[in-house]
């Protein structure tokens, strides 16, 4: 799984994960609770750029990472690591 978009907020992170067959818009609180806000099936998009183009109507294009970052699992430590790379 990869992080393609991440933003820090007071109580955690919000962002988009890329999985094998879907993109997942999520919130992750510092207490370890994951909330999937929405899922987007990859088969509905031509490719990654098509997805980013469509979702950037709601999420600023500039907030997407230039290179997705691979993570093993969704934990606060992993999200902290990813976020520290993009600061």
Higher pLDDT, 5 or 66: 5
pLDDT of residue 86: 83
Q: How many domains does the chain have?
A: 1
Strand order in the sheet with 34-41: 34-41, 22-29, 12-18, 2-9, 64-70
What distances in angstroms separate CA 46 from CA 10, 39, 52, 63, one per listed residue?
35, 16, 11, 21
Q: Average pLDDT in the 42-65 region?
A: 94
Per-residue pLDDT for 60 more than 70?
yes
Identify the residue with better confidence: 51 or 66: 51
What SS3 class is residue 15? strand
Which range of residues forms the domain containing residue 51? 2-86
Q: Please say if the pLDDT value at position 11 is more than 70.
A: yes
> Cα(53)–Cα(57) distance, rounded to whole angstroms?
7
pTM of the entire predicted model: 0.90
Backbone dihedral angles phi then psi of residue 54, each to the nearest 5 degrees: -75, -45
Model confidence at 9, pLDDT cuts 50, 70, 90, reads very high
């Amino acid at each position: 799984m990869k992080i393609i978009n991440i933003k820090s907020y007071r109580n955690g992170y919000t962002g988009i994960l890329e999985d094998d067959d879907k993109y997942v818009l999520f919130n992750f609180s510092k207490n370890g609770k994951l909330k999937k806000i929405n899922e987007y099936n990859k088969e509905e998009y031509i490719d990654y750029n098509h997805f980013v183009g469509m979702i950037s109507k709601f999420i600023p294009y500039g907030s997407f990472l230039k290179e997705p970052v691979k993570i093993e699992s969704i934990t606060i430590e992993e999200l902290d690591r990813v976020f520290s790379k993009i600061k």
